[in-house]
Amino acid sequence: MATIGYLTTTLFDFGAIKGLKNEVDALGIRRPLLVTDPGVEAAGIAGKVLVQLDGVAVTVFAKTPANPTEEAVIEGVASYRSGSCDGIIALGGGSPIDLAKSVALAATHAEPLESYAAIRNGVGKITASVAPVIAIPTTAGTGSEVGRGALINLSNGSKLALISPHLIPKRAICDPELTLGLPPVLTAATGIDALTHCIETYLSPLVNPPAEAIALDGAYRAWHFIKRATENGSDREARWEMMMAALEGGMTFQKGLGAVHSLSHAAGALRRPTLHHGMLNGVFLPHILRFNADSVGEKYDKLREVFGLSAKADLTAAVSDLITSLGLPLTLGQMGFEEKHIPETVQRALADHSNATTPRKATAEEFEALLRAAL
């Protein structure tokens, strides 16, 4: 089993979950709040975690919605306080992990939650008093287990990012065993999320060679193993590789993301329909690759090399073909997004924090055109 020290301490391998009790003890957590969602609980994965915590007083909060909301944060804080908790174990995909980070912040900092959002100049307001979080991903996608941010849909309808080094989980426990039962469509959608993280952080204009190298390695793993993991969920090698790709995508967030995520965050803020973040990335990625083509220098050549494509291959077409082969939607219309949603999505995309590191900044007119092309 590998123990990786980069941003935080990560236990990575099949069976890594067996180290949970040691990490809880090492962090001095005596009464953890387990934050998860109904699906993870129903699948019996929460039970597997609780078995590792025999003798520990655990409070369980399993009400994480598909896209974390401020209302769910408030409920989570209430559970944290009623259980006299002193730390949090986040179990699930990006939603439970992001919700756990938000609860860890809200339980230890004064209201309102919105004041800590990055675009509200809230980064510096988040202190080291954030409750300690141990993140255990059950999907191979978001990288939130080592990320410094959390995305929350606020009660006022906005979707904002909470970003701070203090929000990085104190421990990440990445056990591919927990992903073996993930359905094909979620394997594909979360895997495309990981691939998009690696591609967008690599294309970010910020100078960070170590993160860039990690992004390329993660992109290689995701590109070559996502189809195997989707077609055969019990393929242990593919599951290991995809979880590593997701972890590496999270390790590169310091380079920043781009317009794919500006649009995905914006569309994902809709309360109805509820749109899956990874699927949104899959829809937007080909369009943004085409949009960015003249703004990234020779980086597409490197991506072609990493993906094993010919030097003259159409990168955008290759990405579209991969997404199609995985059975994921290629249009917003297939997901329930309608033309009436475009104006508010454009405004949210313009305000999104990922615009700061996109290689080509889109205007309102360009975002509208991209959304119409993706519709």
Give the C-alpha distances (Å, rounded to integers) separating 290 from 183, 203, 296, 314. Answer: 30, 13, 11, 10
| 309 has pLDDT over 90 | yes
Distance CA 133, CA 223 (A): 30
Are residues 239 and 140 in contact, defined by beta-carbon separation less than 8 angstroms? yes
Specify the amino acid at residue 113: L
Mean of pLDDT over the chain: 94
Confidence of residue 155 (pLDDT cuts 50, 70, 90): confident
Distance CA 260, CA 262 (A): 6
Residues 323 and 291 in one domain: yes
| 3 has pLDDT over 90 | no
Name the pairing type of β-strands 8-12 and 2-6.
antiparallel
Six-digit token pair at 97? 């992990």
- What CATH number does the domain containing 351 carry? 1.20.1090.10
Q: What is the largest CA-CA distance in the chain?
A: 60
Query: Which three-class secondary structure state does DSSP give residue 161?
Result: strand
Which residue, of 159, 178, 197, is where some domain finishes? 178
β-pair partners for 160? 152
Predicted confidence (pLDDT) per residue in 80-123, tens digit: 999 999 999 999 999 999 999 999 999 999 999 999 998 889 99
Average pLDDT over residues 130-138: 97
**What confidence score (pLDDT) does residue 5 get?**
64
Q: Which residues contact 99 (CB under 8 A, 6 or more apart)?
A: 35, 64, 68, 72, 73, 76, 90, 150, 152
Burial degree of 59 (CB within 10 A; 0-12, 13-18, 19+): middle
Residues 155 and 252 in one domain: no
| 185 has pLDDT over 90 | yes
Residues 347 and 291 in one domain: yes
Buried b (16+ CB within 10 A) or exposed e, 262-287: bbbbbbbbbeeeebbbbbbbbbbbbb
Which residue, of 178, 202, 237, is where some domain finishes? 178
- Give which of 232, 147, 159, 136 is closest to 197, Cα–Cα: 147
Residues 333 and 188 in one domain: yes
Distance CA 105, CA 118 (A): 14
Number of domains in the chain: 2
Distance CA 130, CA 343 (A): 36
Distance CA 132, CA 29 (A): 8
- The fraction of the chain above a pLDDT of 90, given in percent, is 89
Predicted confidence (pLDDT) per residue in 17-42, tens digit: 999 999 999 999 999 999 999 999 99
Residues 224 and 293 in one domain: yes
Q: What residue has token string 């910020």? A: 206
| 296 has pLDDT over 90 | yes
Which residue, of 144, 161, 178, is where some domain finishes? 178
- What CATH number does the domain containing 137 carry? 3.40.50.1970
Residues 119 and 135 in one domain: yes
Residues 310 and 280 in one domain: yes
Distance CA 312, CA 8 (A): 39
Residues 158 and 60 in one domain: yes
Distance CA 322, CA 224 (A): 10
| 71 has pLDDT over 80 | yes
Predicted confidence (pLDDT) per residue in 269-279, tens digit: 888 898 999 99
Residues 366 and 331 in one domain: yes
**What confidence score (pLDDT) does residue 151 get?**
86
Are residues 98 and 144 in contact, defined by beta-carbon separation less than 8 angstroms? yes
Residues 10 and 130 in one domain: yes
Residues 190 and 326 in one domain: yes
Residues 218 and 256 in one domain: yes
State which residues form the domain around 72: 2-178
**What confidence score (pLDDT) does residue 160 get?**
81
